[in-house]
Amino acid sequence: MIIQKSANPRISNFDLENFSFGNTFIDHMFICEYEDGKWGEPKIMPYGPIGFSPAMMGVNYGQACFEGMKAYKDENDDVFLFRPEKNFSRINKSTSRLAMPEIPKDIFMEGLKTLIDLDRDWIPKGEGMSLYIRPVIFATEEVLKARISNKYMFAIVATPAKSYYAEPVSVKISDHYSRAANGGVGFAKAAGNYAASFYPTKLANEEGFEQVIWTDDIAHEYFEESGTMNVFVRINDTIYTPKTSDKILDGVTRDSFIKLAEKRGIEVVIGDVRVKDVVEAFDNGTLKEVWGVGTAVVTSVFKSLGYQDRLLTLPVLSDEESFALSLKKDLTDIQTNKAEDPFGWRFKVERKILEKA
């Protein structure tokens, strides 16, 4: 691997108390290009723009997908990743569906570990703090032909992150738009999935909702996801969540929540979640919580659900009463090395770059 360190690192100007998620980037990025049927030499280089043509196939035909993951720093300044092999496996499920080349494990894992080790000083420490990591692959061949590209770039960039959606939000249950369809690419983290969600979300925002609960494309009878998150519903003391399919992303946070709930002895039902059943549970007083989970947000608690001409205002629960918040704490305590990790999810990033410096 080629490592080209920045001659003008920006870490000294990073203000932990005043930064924006998503547009503050660490000093370096990882790049590896694919051409002539093989991957080239991986490279870590200073973060910055890369020149591309408007004829690049990823822009014109949408061969692009990504992952979302995080690095955490504990009180001793040790750095940890969370279940990185799940992200490696999933990005290759996405590349397969989009007819892109599989990313070799050594390129993914070594690039990830080396980049995070090199820029570990960018990882903020404290409650809700982390480094959000974006592995992304896209077609780079410059040709206007609707076919599979012959050239690709795999990159990893990262941005410091703090808690957001900290306050409960209002969401609209969609009865017209859908996120994905049977036989489509809903299970993949395809870039186009997110572009298609923006317009319905904009309409929901104009009605006073922060997000959308996506429903099935046939009759809008079943919950699927919420915004960019997997969705959970608590009726009495049972948790319900839609089963994964070719329409629903197999979320790492989703899977972790299910396992943590089962460890607590909470019943989790994985299957169809009918809109009708959720509304009926609200009407009879058994609907306790609805929330979304994902890497960036971890947990977003919903304070109300908009459905057709109704607004269903959910109960206000304490942190101890809330399954959503209790499970979030269980998860973040494992991620930040505040609790034992009985599942083997935490992955320590060893100090290697600094030792060689």
pLDDT digits (tens, 9 = 90+) for 304-313: 999 999 999 9
Topology, domain 169-316: D-amino Acid Aminotransferase; Chain A, domain 2 (3.20.10)
User: What are phi and psi for residue 259, nearest 5 degrees?
Assistant: -65, -35
* Rounded Cα distance, 329 and 342, in Å: 15
- Average pLDDT of the segment spanning 201-216: 96
Would you state the pLDDT for residue 56?
A: 97
Please give the average per-residue pLDDT across 125-148, as a whole number. 96
What pLDDT sits at residue 147?
Answer: 98
- pLDDT grade for 355, boundaries at 50, 70 and 90: very low
| Rounded mean pLDDT, 234-258 | 96
Average pLDDT, the chain: 95
Cα–Cα distance between 151 and 154 in angstroms, integer? 10
Is pLDDT at 164 greater than 70 in this prediction? no
> Does 184 have pLDDT greater than 50?
yes
CA distances from 103 to 66, 88, 314 (A): 12, 8, 44
Output the pLDDT for position 15: 86
Whole-number pLDDT of residue 135: 98
> What pLDDT, on the 0 to 100 scale, is given for residue 216?
95
Domains 2-162+346-356 and 169-316 are alike in CATH topology: no
Strand partners, 158: 133
Q: How far apart are CA 313 and CA 255, in angstroms?
A: 27
Helix-helix angle 84-97:252-263, to 10 degrees: 140
Topology given in CATH for the domain delimited by 2-162+346-356: D-amino Acid Aminotransferase; Chain A, domain 1 (3.30.470)
Taking the C-alpha atoms of residue 302 and residue 173, their distance in angstroms, rounded to an integer, is: 12
> How do residues 21-38 score in pLDDT, each as one tens digit?
889 999 999 999 999 999
What's the number of CA atoms in the CB half-sphere (13 Å) around residue 301? 22
What's the whole-model pTM score? 0.94
Q: Where are the domains of the chain?
A: 2-162+346-356, 169-316
At residue 356, the pLDDT reads 44
Give the residue from 215, 316, 315, 232 showing the smallest Cα distance to 266.
Answer: 232
Task: State the DSSP string of 155-211.
Answer: EEEEEEE---S-S-EEEEE-SS--S--TTSSTTTTBHHHHHHHHHHHHHHHHTT-SE
pLDDT tens-digit profile of 56-95?
Answer: 999 999 999 999 999 999 999 999 999 999 999 999 999 9
Q: What is the pLDDT of residue 353?
A: 72
For residue 144, pLDDT over 70 is answered with yes
